[in-house]
Homo-oligomer: A and B are copies of this chain.
């Protein structure tokens, strides 16, 4: 348990959300790969309000978002 705690010292996300966030609400997606200093994949969305929200990487819509990243296009906001 101590080892695991040490291995997660530099994790960013204390808690994550499964709630869907519309692409019109965020400007970027940050992915922090599993590494020696945080032993879980972290996905952080930066909202246009500049707030950051941690997503649960195992939630279906987040998985799909990650898969779609190479070709991601956001719909333009309606005029």
Contact = CB atoms under 8 A, between A and B. Distances in A.
Interface residues of A, number: 24
Given A70-B63, A70-B66, A76 B36 contact: yes
State the oligomeric state as a number of copies: 2
A28 B31 contact: yes
B70 A34 contact: no
Contact of A29 (B27, B31, B63): B31
Nearest to A70: B66
B72 A33 contact: yes
Task: Provide the main secondary structure of the chain A interface.
Answer: mixed
B34 A27 contact: no
Nearest to A67: B70
A20 to B, nearest CB: 16
Contact of A77 (B28, B36, B71): B36
